[in-house]
Amino acid sequence: MLQGKTAVVTGSTSGIGLGIAEALAREGCHVALNSYTDTDEDQAIAARLSADHGIKAHYIQADMGKPGDCMRLVETAAADLGPVQILVNNAGIQHVEKIEAFPPEKWDAIIAINLSSSFHTIRAAVPGLKAAGWGRIINIASTHGLHASPFKSAYVAAKHGLVGLTKTVALELAEFGATCNAICPGYVKTPLVEGQIADQMEAHGLDREAVIRNVMLERQPTKQFAEIDQLAALAVFLCSDAAAQMTGQPVSVDGGWVAL
Ligand code: NAD
């Protein structure tokens, strides 16, 4: 049922975004890939998805920290690939620092990229979803959209805001055949996290298993990372007819973290 629909996935040259873009391509969606960079590698990812899945995949450079770029992403995707019916707001950055030392420019960047970009892309996409009478918006929030941790003020504020935005958009779209949900991952095994394991082993003088269990996954009851493929499968489900009555939900994939 997703065959031939156009999906935009922000921040999709690596990690969770790339996993979701690939899963949607596997379902037959045309996909607009995005990041703020403009490299041969970015274009190569689009070419690979297109060749592997027989769909149209375009890489569109756009900085999700800039409102005009957010709107241009949606407009260009629609012009290149057809009306945008699936929007996955995934681009995100992090900075960890105690609040009195937190650089104001990092606060602004995190709020812009992790929260405001979703407002701008949704604002640009909603008229098309309403006109089509069908749409799916998925915002990649975090357990930090529901729970706080110290030293992550901007990230926690942005992700809580994103969950609030998700609920509001869901209500506004409720009678238009379009849903808006948030996925709230706990710790996910991305290339970035994989790199952090080695750093933490050195910093704490612990072996890999101890770092994963006692440092990184201290608050994740299963003591296992969520996997990119699990998040991608959930995103595909949220796009399916089976999820038509799920809207305004923060859906956790966190090994039980929010049950604590
Ligand atoms: P990642 O760093 O692997 O990917 C982030 C993507 O966003 C990259 O493609 C990057 O190029 C892109 N990006 C960054 N700044 C951008 C900008 N200004 N404009 C456009 N694109 C930009 O990270 P990830 O771990 O896959 O995270 C993806 C999302 O999932 C983020 O929103 C993150 O907050 C969320 N998340 C991740 C975890 C985790 O454990 N990895 C847990 C919870 C939530």
Taking the C-alpha atoms of residue 88 and residue 49, their distance in angstroms, rounded to an integer, is 17
User: Ligand 1: which of 69, 73, 93, 228 to mutate, judged by most atoms within 8 Å of the beta carbon?
Assistant: 93
Taking the C-alpha atoms of residue 71 and residue 245, their distance in angstroms, rounded to an integer, is 28
Residue 189, beta-bridge partner list:
none
Domain residue extents for the chain: 6-186+227-255, 189-225
- Residue 87 pLDDT > 80: yes
Residue 191: pLDDT band by 50, 70, 90 thresholds? confident
Overall average pLDDT of the 111-137 stretch: 98
- Closest alpha carbon to 179 in 243, 237, 120: 243
Q: Write down the pLDDT at residue 45.
A: 98
Q: Write down the pLDDT at residue 204.
A: 87
Percent of the residues in the chain that have a pLDDT greater than 70, as a whole number: 100
Q: DSSP letter at 143?
A: G
Q: DSSP letter at 95?
A: -
- Closest alpha carbon to 92 in 113, 112, 107, 71: 113
Closest residue (by CA) to atom 41 of ligand 1? 188
Q: 198 alpha carbon to ligand 1 midpoint, in Å?
A: 20
In three-state secondary structure terms, 248 is: coil
What is the CATH T-level fold of the domain 6-186+227-255, as seen in this structure? Rossmann fold (3.40.50)
Give yes or no for residue 13 CB within 6 A of ligand 1: yes
Is the pTM here over 0.95, yes or no?
Answer: yes
**CA angle, 56 then 113 then 107, to 5°:** 165
Give yes or no for residue 255 CB within 6 A of ligand 1: no
- Residue 28 pLDDT > 80: yes
- Residue 108 pLDDT > 90: yes
| Sheet-wide strand order for 6-9 | 57-61, 30-35, 6-9, 84-89, 135-140, 178-185, 250-253
User: Ligand 1: which of 96, 120, 188 to mutate, judged by most atoms within 8 Å of the beta carbon?
Assistant: 188
Overall average pLDDT of the 172-186 stretch: 98
Q: What atom of ligand 1 comes closest to residue 144's alpha carbon?
A: 43
φ/ψ (deg, to 5) at 139: -105, 125
Q: 131 alpha carbon to ligand 1 midpoint, in Å?
A: 30
In three-state secondary structure terms, 10 is: coil
Question: Over the stretch 141-166, which tens digit does the pLDDT of each residue have?
Answer: 999 999 999 999 999 999 999 999 99
Taking the C-alpha atoms of residue 83 and residue 115, their distance in angstroms, rounded to an integer, is 23
Q: Read out DSSP for 54-81?
A: TS-EEEEE--TTSHHHHHHHHHHHHHHH
Among candidate residues 36, 59, 155, 187, the one labeled active-site is: 155
- Residue 32 pLDDT > 90: yes
Q: What atom of ligand 1 comes closest to residue 112's alpha carbon?
A: 18
Q: What atom of ligand 1 comes closest to residue 19's alpha carbon?
A: 26
Overall average pLDDT of the 33-51 stretch: 98
- Residue 230 pLDDT > 80: yes
Q: What atom of ligand 1 comes closest to residue 18's alpha carbon?
A: 9
Q: Write down the pLDDT at residue 41.
A: 98
Q: DSSP letter at 188?
A: B
Give yes or no for residue 111 CB within 6 A of ligand 1: no
Encode 116-150: b = buried (16+ Cβ within 10 Å), e = exposed: bbbbbbbebbbebbbeeebbbbbbbbbbbbbbeee
Active site residue 187: no
Q: DSSP letter at 226?
A: B
In three-state secondary structure terms, 253 is: strand
Residue 192: pLDDT band by 50, 70, 90 thresholds? confident
